[in-house]
Amino acid sequence: MIRFYVRKSHPARRRRSGQGQFGIDVEFTLRSGSITGVIGASGSGKTTLLRTLAGLTHADEGFLEVEGNTWFNSAMNIRLPPQKRQVGLVFQDYVLFPNLTVRQNVLFARNEREDADRLLQLLGLSAHANHYPNEISGGQQQRTALARALARRPLLLLLDEPFSALDEGLREQAREAVRAAHSATGVTTLLVSHDRIDIERLCDEVIELDGGRVRGSDFGEE
């Protein structure tokens, strides 16, 4: 089980410049092995929530407990850096390392060749293992980012709009890749998307964010 409460106020200068309107004030519990969708309009705090859970953005207060381990607790002054949180993070536009091949990107997370090759095979990337990121398609880049995140054997997988850069033809393939990866690993996953179709097709549960707060949550089809 993963429990969190995170509060982060938005810096006044960013509010003034119109870069998002709100901070976040979110409490939620994720069931182990579930895929939970986070949906909301632009500036509703979806990405800030993911970054805060990953430790890339500092929360003002709150806690984050992952399968019995405390990664963050402001009252107890515990704040693990991103390196020590066992998260897998897939950025919106993947942020692959351009100097490394597909296989090397995956090996960067965990230097175990067999593991990497198994993930590449699972995600249909074996034929592109020796290609560089600029030599493969957007869909293949998305799957490489997913393989790299999974190679870390995360306890929590964070996907930030992983399908938004893909056209409709590739989106279903990419969703299938996420589904296959989740079936194989059973990792608890938080998927941010502005597209209800992504959420409906993949998620067991939904958090709807509005102005940085949970407006509602519901269960989809199991």
The residue ranges that bind other proteins (CB under 8 A) are: 54-56, 81-84, 87-89, 91, 95-99, 108-109, 148-149, 152
Phi, psi of 187 (to 5 degrees): -75, 140
Nearer to other proteins, 118 or 213 (CB): 118
Q: Closer to other proteins at the Cβ: 24 or 54? A: 54
Residue closer to other proteins by CB (options 98, 169) is: 98
Q: Which is nearer to other proteins, 149 or 209 (CB)?
A: 149
CB of residue 145 to other proteins, shortest distance in Å: 9
Q: Least distance (Å) from other proteins to the CB of residue 28?
A: 20
From the CB of 77, what's the least distance to other proteins, in Å?
21
CB of 133 to other proteins, least distance (A): 11
Q: How far is the CB of 17 from other proteins (least distance, A)?
A: 15
Pick 42 or 134: Cβ nearer other proteins:
134
Distances (CA, A) of 95 to 8, 22, 142, 146: 25, 25, 9, 11
**Which residues have a Cβ under 8 Å from the Cβ of 15 and sit 6 or more positions away?**
21
SS (HEC) of 49-111: HHHHHHCCCCCCEEEEEECCEEEEECCCCEECCHHHCCEEEECCCCCCCCCCCHHHHHHHHCC
Give residues with Cβ within 8 angstroms of 34, minimum separation 6.
Answer: 188, 189, 204, 205
